Every structure is written in C-alpha cells, then in structure tokens.
Amino acid sequence: MSLDAAPESLLAVCRLTDLVPERGAAALVDGEQVALFRMVDDEVLAVQQLDPYSGANVMSRGIVGTRGEAWTVASPMYKQVFDLRTGECLDTQGREPRRLRTWPVRCRDGVVLLARGPREG
C-alpha cells in the first residue's frame, strides 16, 4: 500500500511532540494497540504493541537502538530485538523467529499520521 495512493486512509494519532525522541509510546488504532517510536531525525516508526514472544502489550516500552544500519527495538520482556522498519526479528534469543506488524507513518505539520490498513512487515 502506498501512502500517496490512499491519503484518505491516514489517521491522525498524536502530535510529534507527544513522543520522546528514541523512546516509544502506545496508541490505540481501531481498537488495536500500536507502538510508535520517534527517531532522532523525527521520523516516526510504528509496529505492533503486542510482544509476540511474551503475549504482553509492551513493545513501546523497549529500548530503541541500532544494529548496523537498522533501527531496532528490544522487547522489555525477554529481550528479542526487532527491526523497526521491517518488523523482522534480528535476535530471537534462541526462540523461533517471529515478526512484528509494521504500519506506514507520516508526519505533517507536527501531526503523526498512521496508515489504517496494517501492512504485514
């Protein structure tokens, strides 16, 4: 799905300033929990809030970092590390690989917009 192709599907979630750089926050989108992360360059990335390994809604509370070129978040529960752009699990801590859903995000006029139809990461 392309953002420009379907602008009507964008949902305003919060202001950019509601988010702390390199930290996550949870948002409710159509009853589903989404974890938003604000990067140092003010880009915002979104993945599912549900940690696929623990089953708890905690991904937004993980530590943000980098692995090589990839932006990552580490689950605060059992420390699996995920690529924030692709949702791919980069460090499974010995478990079978599981992905996070990702959402395209755009910022306009200081407002964080999330594409409604979830894209499989």
Partner 1 sequence: MPQEKDRPEEIDVQDQTPPDPADTTADRPRRLVVVGAGMVAHRLVEALLQRDTTGAFTVTVLGEEEHPPYDRVGLTSFFAGRDAEQLALGDPALWDDDRVDLVLGSRVTGLDRAARTVTTATGQVHRYDELVLATGSSAFVPPVAGADLPGVFVYRTLDDVARLQRWVRDRAEQHDRPLRGAVVGGGLLGLEAAGALQSMGVHSTVVEFAPRLMAVQVDEAGGHALQRIITRLGIEVRTSTATTAITAGPDGAVAAMTFSDGSSTDVDVVVVAAGIRPRDELARAAGLAVGPRGGLVVDDACRSEDPHVSAVGEVACIRGATLGLVAPGYTMAEILTDRLLGGQATFPGADTSTKLKLLGVDVASFGDAFAATPGALEVVYADPAAGVYKKLVLSDDAEVLLGGILVGDASAYASLRPMVGRRLGVDPAAFLLPEGAAAGPAGLELPDEAVVCSCNNVTAGAVRCAVSEQGACDLAAVKGCTRAGTSCGSCLPSVKKLMTTELEKSGLTVSRALCEHFEQTRAELFEIVRVTRLTTFSEIISRHGRGRGCDICKPVVASVLASLGGGHILAGEQAALQDTNDHVMANLQKDGSYSVVPRIPGGEVTAEGLIAIGEVARDFGLYTKITGGQRIDLFGVRLEQLPAVWRRLVAAGFESGHAYGKSLRTVKSCVGSTWCRYGVQDSVGLAVALELRYRGLRSPHKLKLGVSGCARECAEARGKDVGVIATEQGWNLYVGGNGGATPRHAQLLAADLDNDTLVRTVDRFLMYYVRTADRLQRTAAWLEELDGGLDHVREVVVEDALGIGADLEQAMAAHVDGYADEWAAVLADPEQLRKFTAFVNAPDHVDESLQYVPERGQIRPATPSERTGGAVLIAGAELEVRR
CA distances in angstroms from 82 to 38, 39, 47, 72, listed in the order given: 15, 15, 10, 5
**Side chain identity at 13, as an amino acid letter?**
V
Binding segment (CB under 8 A) for partner 1, from list 1-9, 59-67, 97-105: 59-67
**CB-wise, 82 or 87, nearer to partner 1?**
82
Residues 18-37, interacting with partner 1 (CB under 8 A): 18-23, 25-29, 33, 36
CA distances in angstroms from 57 to 33, 51, 63, 99, listed in the order given: 7, 6, 15, 15
**Angstrom distance (rounded) from CA 82 to CA 46:** 12
Q: Least distance to partner 1 from the beta carbon of 109, Å?
A: 17
**Angstrom distance (rounded) from CA 47 to CA 101:** 5
Binding test (CB under 8 A) with partner 1, winner from 1, 3, 6, 56: 56
Residues 82-121, interacting with partner 1 (CB under 8 A): none
Positions in the binding site for partner 1 (CB under 8 A): 13-14, 18-23, 25-29, 33, 36, 40, 54-58, 61-68, 71-72, 74, 76-77, 79, 81
